[in-house]
Amino acid sequence: MADLKDFAEQLVNLTVKEVNELADILKEEYGIEPAAAAVAVAGGAAAGGGDAAEEKTEFDVILKAAGGSKLAVVKLVKELTGLGLKDAKELVDGAPKAIKEGVAKDEAEALKAQLEEAGAEVELK
C-alpha cells in the first residue's frame, strides 16, 4: 500500500513537461491514447465525486493589453510562443488575442504570472 501512495505522490508532483512525456510514452510504447486516458480519469472522478468532473482542465491564455512595457511583453510572447519577432509584435499589437489555447491550469497560471510580471494584462478563459 505504501508503494501505491508513493506512486500517487509522484504522479501528482509531475511537471507539465513530464506529463507530456508520460503521455508520449503511454501512446508509443503501450498504445494508450492520451485522450482515452483522460476520459478514463474523468470517468473515475465522476464516479467518485461530482464536482471534480465539472472542473475545467484546459484554459486559453488571452493577452488583453500590452500595458506600459510593450517591448518586454513582445519579447516574452516571442519566447513563450516560439513566434518570430514580427509575429509576436503583431500578436501583442492586436490584443486582445490568445497567446496559447487549451493548456493545463498550472501552465496557464504560470504564463499569466510571467506576462503580468512583464506588465501585460492577461485573462484566463
Q: List pLDDT tens digits, range 40-86.
A: 444 444 444 444 445 677 888 888 888 888 888 888 888 888 888 88
Tell me the torsion sign for CA atoms 4, 37, 112, 83: positive
C-alpha cell belonging to residue 9: 505522490
Q: List pLDDT tens digits, range 26-38.
A: 888 888 776 544 4
In this predicted structure, what is the pLDDT of residue 51? 47
What is the rounded distance in angstroms from the CA atom of residue 125 to the CA atom of residue 62?
7
User: Pairing relation of β-strands 97-104 and 121-124?
Assistant: unpaired
Residue type, 111: L
* CATH code at 58-124: 3.30.1390.10
Single pTM value for the model: 0.53
3-state SS string over 43-74? HHHHHHCHHHHHCCCEEEEEEEECCCCHHHHH
C-alpha cell belonging to residue 98: 490568445
In this predicted structure, what is the pLDDT of residue 1? 59
Q: What's the mean pLDDT when you consider all of the chain?
A: 78
Location of each CATH 3.30.1390.10 domain in the chain: 58-124
